[in-house]
Amino acid sequence: MIKTFEFLYYCQYRMFALIKRVGEKDENLASFFYSILLSTQSLMFLFFLRFIFPKDFFTNNTYGIILKISLVAVFFIWYFFCRYYFLKKENYKRIIMLYEGKYPNKNSKPALIGIFYALLTFISFPVLAAVLSKLG
């Protein structure tokens, strides 16, 4: 599980490394963007709560506020976790060194996987929302 987590981070890193930029480091961008992708996937998982709880459960103001706070908290939890795990603990160096040896070509599979992973995450979010809205 942790190898998949680290590999997807490397794919995001490689995706950002395709674009030459000045000032911002690719490992910072990859950590931030990866937290966005993970929080989007977590929110998609939370959509299924609609089918577990009663239909009018979240329409009450108290529960609605709790729901909104928890949805924002999901992003911040993933953001701080990714920032701590990859940047503060400097695991990004180990991960990049490991996968650079496996994929010496800079424009290889990991960049394509990173792009595909990001697109699939963002496309599946509205599709899932539309399907769930028709079911409920």
Mean pLDDT of 32-40: 95
| Chain segment 71-127, per-residue pLDDT in tens | 789 999 999 999 999 999 999 999 999 999 999 887 679 999 999 999 999 999 888
Torsion of CA 76, 32, 23, 117, to 10 degrees: -170
Q: How far is CA 49 from CA 44, 46, 54, in A?
A: 10, 5, 9
Amino acid at 94: R
With a cut of 80, say whether residue 48 has pLDDT above it.
Answer: no
Residue 66 pLDDT level (bands cut at 50, 70, 90): confident
